[in-house]
Structure 1
Amino acid sequence: MALSAREPRVAPERLVAELVPPLRFETVRFDTYLPDPKQPSQGAAVKALDAFASGLGEGARAGTGRGGLWPRRARRRQPPEPRGIYLDGGYGVGKTHLLASLWHAAPVPREAKAFGTFVELTNLVGALGFRRTVDTLAGHRLLCIDEFELDDPGDTVLISSLLGQLAARGVALAATSNTLPGRLGEGRFAAADFLREIQGLAAHFRTLRIDGEDYRHRGLPRAPEPRPEEEVIRVAHATPGASLDAFGPLLDHLRRVHPSRYGALLGGVETVCLTGVRPVPDQATALRLVVLADRLYDREIPVLASGVPFDRLFGEEMLNGGYRKKYHRAVSRLTALARDAAAAA
C-alpha cells in the first residue's frame, strides 16, 4: 500500500474518542518509569505527579468551590495555587511516559479524562468549534496535553482562552513541553506582543523540571545507516502490512491531508518503507513531517528508509531556528523507529 494514495476522513466524534494515551504508552505506569539515579529531578517528578493524581479523586474538582485539589482553609490563607502541572525537560527524559502514567493513575472514570498532543487539541477546536470544544472537555476531570508548543499568535489566543475556560469550570490540567510556560512562542513570533496571553497560560501551571539525557540514545548504538533502495522495496513487498512510498511524493501528499488525519492515514500500517529520503525543502513541509513522525512514534511503526540519514532531514537554519525543538524531537523519534526497522529487517 502507499500512504500517498490514501485520503482518510475522520468524524469529529472520533477525534474526541481518540483522546487517550497512544499505543506506545498504553501500559506505562509510574512504577515502570526508571528514574536516572544521577538525575534526582526525575524521581521527584514521579512523587509530585503521583500526589497530583491522588488529588483528582472523588470530590476533588478544582475551582468549583466544592473541595478541590487543595484544602479550603489553605486556599483562604494564601493565593490560589495553579490548577495544573507542567513538565519541562529535554527530549527523551520520559515526560510523555509520566504524563500518560498520570492519566492512567487518575482515579476518575476513563470517559472523564482526556489525553492528546497540543496539535490534536488545536485540531479538535478546528473540527468542533471553540464553544463545542469547551463544553465537551468541561465534562472531564483531567486534560493532559503533550508537546505543548505555541507556533503562532492565533494558537496563543486560542489556547489561552480554552484553558482559561476549562480551568474555571474545574478541569485539572497537565502538560509537557521543552519550553517553560512563560517562554512559549519565543523565537517563533512577536511573543512580546502576546505577553498577557502567555503569562495567562503560565498562571494555570506549576512547573516541574525534569533533567536528563535522551533515553532513546542512552547506551544504544548509533542510528542505523539508510538501506539500499532495492532492499527497502524488497522488504516492503515481503512484509505484511507494509507501506511503500517515495519520500518526495509523500511530502506532497501531506500538504493535501490535514494533520488531524495523519493518525487515520496510518491505519492498518505495520511498517513504513520510504525510498529517496532527502532534506526537507521548506519549513511548512518540515512541520507536517514532524506531526507524521509523532503519529508514527505513538503507534510504534518501524520506518525503513533509503536516502540520507534522518539526522540530515532538517537543514542548519531549521535546527537553529524557532522550531528547533520540534525538529530535534522528530529526528530522535525517527531514529528510534529506524532502529526498530533495522532489527526487523
Structure 2
Amino acid sequence: MQVRLVDRHPEVPADQLVAQMVPPPMFDEVSFASYIPDPKEPSQAAAVRKAEDFGGRVAEINRAVNKKSLFGKRKAISGAGLYLDGGFGVGKTHLLASIFHSAPAPKSFGTFGEVTNLVGALGFNNAVERLSANSVLCIDEFELDDPGDTMLVSRLLTELSARGVSIVATSNTLPGQLGEGRFAAQDFLREIKKLGSIFEPVRVDGPDYRHRDLPPAPEPTSPELLTERATATTGSTLDEFDALLKHLSTLHPSKYGALISGVSSVFISNVHQVDDQAVALRIVVLADRLYDASTPVTVSGVKLDEVFSPEMLEGGYRKKYLRAISRLLALSRFEAAETAS
C-alpha cells in the first residue's frame, strides 16, 4: 500500500526544538572556500570576505564573554551583527551556514519561522535562557511581513545580543526591487532599533543560481504516471493535494520537518491554484522543509509555478511565495533529472 503524508502525525517535544536548530543537510559540508562567487557579480566575493571576517569576530567575542573576571562573573560584552541582503538564490544561506560551521559551540541556525515557532513552544524567557549560551544565532529568511513576529524576534535578539550572542541574518529583496535593496536593509534596522547600531548590512547581488540556464517549470505528470512512479519509488509518499492541505492545517508548522522525515520523494496529485492566504502560507513552510531535506517533488495538475494566484504574487507575502516557487521548481527538476537518468 502506498504511504501517505496524511497518515503521519509527528510529535516534536519542545525541548528538542533547540537541539535540531542546525543548517539543512544540503549545507552540512559548505564553507567560505566552497562558495564560488559569480565573476560578474563583485558583491558576492565581497560578501564572502565580510562573512569570513564576521566568523572570526564571533569567535573573539565568545572567548571574551566566557572569560571570567576577578569576581567570577562573565563580562558584559555585546554580540556582533551581520545582515546579508540580496535576491533569491545568490548563496546567502551558504554563507550563513559557513558562519555557523566556523563558530564555536553552542550555536543555533534556523529560519525566521523556526525561531518564532521556538519562542512560541518554549515561551519567551525560556527561549532566551536556552539560546543565551550561544556564540551565534543564525537566522535565515528574516521577514518583515508580520509586524508581530518581527517585533517578537527583535526583542529576542536584543536580549541575546546584550548577553554576548552574535546575530547574523539573511533576507531576500524582490527581483523587481533590487535597486531598492538598501531600503530593505534600513527597514530591517529600524525594526530592531536597539540592535541597529551593531548590524552591518551587506549586499549580495546576482541571478537565482537554482534557475541559471534552466528550462521553464517542468510539465505536470499525468495522474496515471504519477501513481506508477510513486509505487516504483522506495520510501516515497503519494498524496492528493486537497487532502494534504487539510492535513497540514492540523499540524503546527514546527512539525512539518518531522512530517517528511525519512521520505525519499514526494508525489502529489491534482495540484491546483490556491487563493486562500492561510493555505498558501502552509505550502510555503512545507516547501521550505522539503527544500531543506532535498526531497524531490513530482505533481499532477497545474505546474508548480502556478500554485499561487496572481493576486497573491502581488500581495504582502510575495517574497514568501516567490521563494517557495523557486524551491519547488528546483525540487521538481531534481526529480525529473533522476527519472531521466
TM-score normalized by structure 1? 0.88
Moved more, 231-240 or 154-163: 154-163
Q: Are positions 1:24 and 2:26 aligned together?
A: yes
State the partner residue of 2:300. Answer: 306
State, as a whole percentage, how many aligned pairs show the same letter.
55
Q: Secondary structure at the match of 1:143?
A: strand
Contact 2:78 2:164 in 1 (8 A): no
CA distance in 2, matches of 1:151, 1:38: 31
CA distance in 1, matches of 2:240, 2:121: 30
State the partner residue of 1:89. Answer: 86
State the partner residue of 2:309. Answer: 315
Q: CA deviation at 1:55?
A: 1.7
Contact 1:82 1:203 in 2 (8 A): no
State the partner residue of 1:253. Answer: 247
State the partner residue of 2:138. Answer: 144
Aligned residues: 319
Q: Are positions 1:324 and 2:318 aligned together?
A: yes
Q: How has the CA–CA distance of structure 1 residues 83 and 63 changed in structure 2, closer, same or farther, with 3 Å as cutoff?
A: farther
Moved more, 321-330 or 148-157: 148-157
Q: Secondary structure at the match of 2:33?
A: helix
State the partner residue of 1:71. Answer: none
Alignment of 1:213-228 (within 5 A): 213-228=207-222
Q: Which amino acid aligns with 1:32?
A: S
CA distance in 1, matches of 2:288, 2:195: 24
Q: Are positions 1:182 and 2:186 aligned together?
A: yes
State the partner residue of 2:236. Answer: 242
Contact 2:304 2:325 in 1 (8 A): yes
Q: 1:102 aligns with which of 94, 99, 102?
A: 99
Q: CA deviation at 1:81?
A: 9.8
CA distance in 1, matches of 2:110, 2:47: 20
Contact 1:63 1:167 in 2 (8 A): no
CA distance in 2, matches of 1:229, 1:263: 26
Q: Secondary structure at the match of 2:18?
A: helix
Q: CA deviation at 1:129?
A: 0.6
Contact 1:82 1:205 in 2 (8 A): no
Alignment of 1:128-143 (within 5 A): 128-143=122-137
Contact 1:181 1:202 in 2 (8 A): no
Pairwise CA RMSD: 2.1
Q: CA deviation at 1:159?
A: 1.1
Q: CA deviation at 1:198?
A: 4.3
State the partner residue of 2:62. Answer: 61
Contact 1:62 1:170 in 2 (8 A): no
Q: 1:9 aligns with which of 2, 8, 11?
A: 11
Contact 2:89 2:210 in 1 (8 A): yes
Q: CA deviation at 1:82?
A: 8.0
Contact 1:182 1:198 in 2 (8 A): no
Q: How has the CA–CA distance of structure 1 residues 181 and 133 changed in structure 2, closer, same or farther, with 3 Å as cutoff?
A: farther
CA distance in 2, matches of 1:152, 1:196: 14
Q: Where do 5+ consecutive residues of structure 2 fail to align? A: 69-76, 174-183
State the partner residue of 2:46. Answer: 44
CA distance in 1, matches of 2:190, 2:29: 39
Q: CA deviation at 1:154?
A: 1.9
- 1:213-233 CA-to-partner distances (Å, cap 9, x unmatched) read 000011223221111011111
Q: CA deviation at 1:181?
A: 4.0
Q: Secondary structure at the match of 1:216?
A: helix
Alignment of 1:205-216 (within 5 A): 205-216=199-210
CA distance in 2, matches of 1:63, 1:293: 40
CA distance in 2, matches of 1:157, 1:316: 29
Q: Where do 5+ consecutive residues of structure 1 fail to align? A: 68-79, 185-194
Q: CA deviation at 1:62?
A: 9.2
Q: CA deviation at 1:253?
A: 1.0
Q: Secondary structure at the match of 2:312?
A: helix
Q: Secondary structure at the match of 2:83?
A: strand
CA distance in 2, matches of 1:98, 1:157: 25
State the partner residue of 2:258. Answer: 264
State the partner residue of 1:192. Answer: none
- 1:260-304 CA-to-partner distances (Å, cap 9, x unmatched) read 000000111010000001011311111111010000000000001
Q: Are positions 1:339 and 2:333 aligned together?
A: yes
Q: Which amino acid aligns with 2:150?
A: T
State the partner residue of 1:34. Answer: 36
Q: Which amino acid aligns with 1:56?
A: V
Q: Which amino acid aligns with 1:92?
A: G
- 1:199-219 CA-to-partner distances (Å, cap 9, x unmatched) read 345444110000000000112
Q: How has the CA–CA distance of structure 1 residues 170 and 6 changed in structure 2, closer, same or farther, with 3 Å as cutoff?
A: same
Q: Which amino acid aligns with 1:37?
A: P
State the partner residue of 1:162. Answer: 156
Q: Are positions 1:273 and 2:270 aligned together?
A: no
Q: How has the CA–CA distance of structure 1 residues 196 and 218 changed in structure 2, closer, same or farther, with 3 Å as cutoff?
A: closer
Q: Secondary structure at the match of 2:249?
A: helix
CA distance in 2, matches of 1:17, 1:261: 14
- 1:107-155 CA-to-partner distances (Å, cap 9, x unmatched) read x13xx11111111100011111100100010010010000101332321
